[in-house]
Amino acid sequence: MQINVGSVDRIVRIVLGLILLSLPLWLDSPWRWLGLIGIMPLVTGLAGRCPGYRLLGLGTCPIQKKNPE
Q: What is the pLDDT of residue 33?
A: 87
Instruction: Kindly report, residue by residue over 38-47, the tens digit of the pLDDT.
Output: 999 999 999 9
- Confidence (pTM): 0.82
Give the DSSP letter of residue 64: P
> How many whole angstroms separate alpha carbon 15 and alpha carbon 45?
9
Low-confidence ranges of the chain (pLDDT < 70): 64-69
Q: Where are the alpha helices (DSSP H) in the chain?
A: 7-26, 39-47, 51-56
Domain boundaries, the chain: 7-56
